[in-house]
Structure 1
Amino acid sequence: MTPQHKPTRRPGRLRRAVIAGSVALTLSAGGATAWALDRFVVQHVAIADVSAYEASQNSAAGTTTADTAADAAATAITTDTSYSAGDTNISISTVTTGTGDSTVTYYVADVVLDDATTLQSAFANNSFGENITETTSAIAADNNAVFAINGDYYGFRDTGIVIRNGVVFRDEGARQGLAFYRDGTVKVYDETTTTADQLIADGVWNTLSFGPSLLDNGEVAAGIEDVEVDTNFGNHSIQGEQPRTAVGVIDGNHLVFVVVDGRSPGYSAGVTMTGLAEIMQGLGATTAYNIDGGGSSTMYFNGSLVNNPLGENKERGTSDILYIAG
């Protein structure tokens, strides 16, 4: 499923993996450097065994964890593989559109769940905290996942509402979030107008805190090219043609996940935020939400990497995934 074409390697943007070097070069010695290293590089483990913590919380609560407008002639769609278990079905396709340096390659997972709680989340190293990373494939393997995508990289920031598998891990509302409910409903919401406890009471199973929302009632959301998810040190713009990951809602318990490869001219240039919204719209989603992209954009299926991150077949570590266990 991984594309065989290997384009000329192109350096990616400086990202979190080189923050330590950036800090040493850009900040004055002493307290400022120590603060930045501590905030963005040093691991801070708040919960060392997430599985045990979730089990204890669920037990206490009495619950169980149960620029794509190219001509159609220039678009190639290949269904790579599928998976079925009971009423859960996963179908993965590769889509290539455009030509030359405008070529875009993306991967679509059409997922029908038997139950909303079948879609779960897992943290890198089974730990919750800041700057804890592991590749999507490694986290997926640790959790016996048949399918996984990268999450929202919650560990790069200390804000946002983080609810995973029905358990609250953080309650610091800051931006547009995405909430997956136990009844199969998925909604974009304003984190600053509610609390994690209220969301749990309303039946929320998982949340993502990144954004922006891409579609409003099936229409491309206004202003999505101007959104800044983070403004803190070490963050980079999410605008322009980039690798992307998005989640879309087609119907109750019917989701679509998209990973767009990018920064690899001739193989995949990436897409703008509007381009990503149009992809989701074309797939029939009525609600869609952008999550962490760039080198983090990863899709995993049945033991293998599906996409080709940055055209180098090399994953970058992330802090969390969404997955379906095999």
Structure 2
Amino acid sequence: MKVIKRHLYAMLVTLCLIGANTYSLLKVFVLPQAVSKVTTTTSQTSTASTSTGTVTKTDSSYKDDNISINISTNKTSDTTYYVADITLSDASYLKTALAQNTYGTNITETTSSMASANNAIFAINGDYYGANQSGYVIKNGTVYRSTTRSSDYEDLAIYSDGHFETFNESDTSTQDLIDSGVVNTFAFGPTLVKNGQIAISESEEVGQAMAENPRTAIGIIQTDDGSLHYIVIVSDGRTSESSGLTLYEMAEIMQSYGVTTAYNLDGGGSSTMYFNGQIINKPTTNGNTISERAVSDSVYIGY
């Protein structure tokens, strides 16, 4: 009888441990957990015009008094990619959105849904901050997470005047970033182009990802007239029609457009480009399945 009781006790302990571990894994990777709702801060306030003036739109272009966007479809030998050439009169038209307007764990929404909810003219997926438990998260001037991530990759900072800088989290704090005028950060990477030069090797890849993938990247072109000029590229991949780009190939394309800084955002099934109410690319989640993946955040252009 004592032997049976010991076995039962051991089984109960084992089941409790399995249950606790299962719950921990579910909490990290599956169960949604809201931490805070998105709030408007003073750093989001801008004197930029909210009047569009005359709007001219086609399937591949948008232009008003403050925003100009032109979309082109291009192809390498085996990959289709889409380039958005964006000019803004004020940096406040470049914004970020959080899924379900909420910061937290495993809270997701499609890029197109976030874009629609925010009346975005143009949108792409962001860095999918929710896939990680650490790494700086600053969105629209609000600090949501201040724990540093252990990565060799730099983060991207977008400042209130619209310019880009890359940085290492171990070299600064979120408060220092806010004090210097940072309104958005992205913790994915790597940096593709820095000071106009390709910043990665031909063999570099994110983690254990395949060499060719759907990709999303954002870059900035230095201007002399005070306007803000951005290049955004999204590539299709993982299909027989479009294999995808390597990081180096994305860097080469970005450099060909004359960007001074370019940064790699979340890719794979997350890569999505939205424009004028339509998804422009072909997001690929599993094999040849063309469908849009729900993500934790997006970048968009709008009022």
Same fold (TM over 0.5): yes
Q: Deviation string for 1:228-255 (max 9, x for gaps)? A: 56xxxxxxx2341011000111125211
Q: Does 1:297 align with 2:265?
A: no
Q: Deviation string for 1:8-35 (max 9, x for gaps)? A: xxxxxxxxxxxxxxxxxxxx94332221
The answer on whether the counterparts of 1:243 and 1:260 sit within 8 Å (CA) in structure 2 is yes
Q: Deviation string for 1:257-281 (max 9, x for gaps)? A: 110110012x210011111111111
For 1:293, give the aligned amino acid: G
The answer on whether the counterparts of 2:200 and 2:248 sit within 8 Å (CA) in structure 1 is no
For 2:113, give the aligned amino acid: A
Q: Deviation string for 1:17-58 (max 9, x for gaps)? A: xxxxxxxxxxx94332221111111111001x31xx2x2x42
Structure 1 runs (4+) deviating above 6 angstroms are: none
* Paired residues for 1:151-300 under 5 Å: 151-174=126-149, 175=151, 176-223=154-201, 225-226=203-204, 228=206, 237-251=208-222, 253-265=228-240, 267-300=241-274
Gapped regions of structure 1 (runs ≥ 5):
1-27, 67-78, 230-236
Identity of aligned residues (%): 46
For 1:127, give the aligned amino acid: T
Secondary structure in 2 matching 1:269: coil
| Structure 1 Cα separation of the partners of residues 205 and 292 of structure 2 | 26
Secondary structure in 1 matching 2:183: strand
Instruction: Work out the number of aligned pairs and report it.
Output: 267
Displacement of 1:216: 2.3
| Structure 2 Cα separation of the partners of residues 111 and 200 of structure 1 | 25
Gapped regions of structure 2 (runs ≥ 5):
1-16, 48-57
User: Given the alignment, which residue of 291, 298, 301 partners 1:321?
Assistant: 298
Displacement of 1:290: 0.4
User: Given the alignment, which residue of 45, 49, 56 partners 1:64?
Assistant: 45
* Paired residues for 1:64-213 under 5 Å: 64=45, 81-98=60-77, 103-174=78-149, 175=151, 176-213=154-191
The answer on whether the counterparts of 1:117 and 1:205 sit within 8 Å (CA) in structure 2 is no
The answer on whether the counterparts of 1:239 and 1:273 sit within 8 Å (CA) in structure 2 is no
The answer on whether the counterparts of 2:215 and 2:245 sit within 8 Å (CA) in structure 1 is yes
For 1:263, give the aligned amino acid: R
| Structure 2 Cα separation of the partners of residues 323 and 65 of structure 1 | 16
| Structure 1 Cα separation of the partners of residues 107 and 293 of structure 2 | 12
Output the TM-score relative to the length of structure 1: 0.77
For 1:197, give the aligned amino acid: Q
Q: Does 1:44 align with 2:33?
A: yes
User: Given the alignment, which residue of 18, 21, 28 partners 1:32?
Assistant: 21
**Over alpha carbons, which structure has the higher Rg?**
2
| Structure 2 Cα separation of the partners of residues 153 and 65 of structure 1 | 26
Change (3 A) 1:314 1:116: same
The answer on whether the counterparts of 1:121 and 1:165 sit within 8 Å (CA) in structure 2 is yes
Displacement of 1:183: 1.6
| Structure 1 Cα separation of the partners of residues 204 and 247 of structure 2 | 9
The answer on whether the counterparts of 2:35 and 2:102 sit within 8 Å (CA) in structure 1 is yes
